Amino acid sequence: MLLNGRDLLAVANEHNFAVPAFNISDFAMFNGILEISEERQAPLIVAIHPDEVSHLGHNALPGIIQGAHRSSVPVAIHWDHGGSYEQILTAIQIGFTSVMIDGSMLPYEENVAITRRVVEAAHAVGLSVEGELGTIGKLDEQAESGVAVSAITHTDPAQAVDFVRRTGVDSLAIAIGTAHGLYPKHVKPELKLDLLQEIKALLPIPLVLHGGSGNPDDEIGQSVKLGINKINISSDIKVAYHDKMREVLADLTLREPNTIQPPALAAMKEVAAQKIELFDAAGKASLY
Ligand SMILES: [Zn+2]
């Protein structure tokens, strides 16, 4: 069934688990992610970044929407890292049920203003909105957005309360030390779990963790217990998908996508299943 992000995350917030938001870039990935979510009976957020929307093409959206409607698990279709008001209108027009407006790189008042404007438009037509406060790191050139890890600004709890009150966002992406992309071997990611606790105590709405690939499992697991209700996973599933595909393609005689892609999808699904378990989302479809 197709849901908006607010209804999907409200249950996660009430029952203390996190819904995985898997970034998909092609239709095979979408099918694979939907299949593993159904196998594990886990609610799902199909996250599509503007660059991925461009790659997929708007014509793919009706198929994704239909897949969500027919699914045995609740699904939201989420525009990841909206960069402008115009992008949000596009998301509304082509059938997304949840949007993120990322004004985190703007001065605070400008972030409030654009987020407020997006909330007014999205709420008018039943979509939920995720905002972002504080900055998330960017580890490599392929990562979707962010700042140098040395320049990460952690979310300020008092400012987060003010931001949510003034913008009306349904959920908030917070910066507690994660970064987009893959951590180099010498960088040891560390989440500020005390900061998360402080924010959740003041702001009991669904909180979102971006850049969830590559962090130690025990920290991610703890963040779920402490109030993170949506975790974005992009790099980890794409690495699994394409590493396996490279291996398969070593056989130079292969030509057909239906022989090349299935092993790659199986590898991707294995990683996705591990995330679903880690986020305590398995079996939670029955709560909807
Ligand atoms: Zn992100």
Residue-wise pLDDT tens digits, 30-42: 999 999 999 999 9
Q: What distance in Å separates the CA atoms of residue 57 and residue 49, rounded to the nearest whole number?
A: 12
Q: How far is the CA of 98 from the centre of ligand 1 (A)?
A: 14
Q: Tokens 């029952």 belong to which residue?
A: 15
Q: What pLDDT score does 251 carry? A: 97
- Catalytic machinery residues: 80
pLDDT of residue 56: 96
Q: Which pLDDT does position 180 carry in this prediction?
A: 86
What are the tens digits of pLDDT across the range 247-264?
Answer: 999 999 999 999 999 999
Low-confidence ranges of the chain (pLDDT < 50): none
List, as ranges, residues with CB under 5 A of the ion ligand 1: 210, 232
CA angle 86, 67, 38 (to 5 degrees): 120
The pLDDT of residue 6 = 97
* Helix/strand/coil percent split, the chain, to 5: 50, 15, 35
Quote the ligand 1 centre to 26 CA distance (angstroms). Answer: 18
What is the gyration radius of the CA atoms in the chain, in angstroms?
18
CA of residue 119 to ligand 1 center, whole Å: 19
- Give 209 Cα–ligand 1 centroid separation in angstroms: 8
Instruction: Output the pLDDT for position 150.
Output: 72
Cα 266 to ligand 1 centre (Å): 24
Pinpoint the alpha helices (H) of 77-213. Answer: 85-94, 108-124, 157-167, 193-202
97 residue type, one letter:
T
Give residue 178's pLDDT.
86
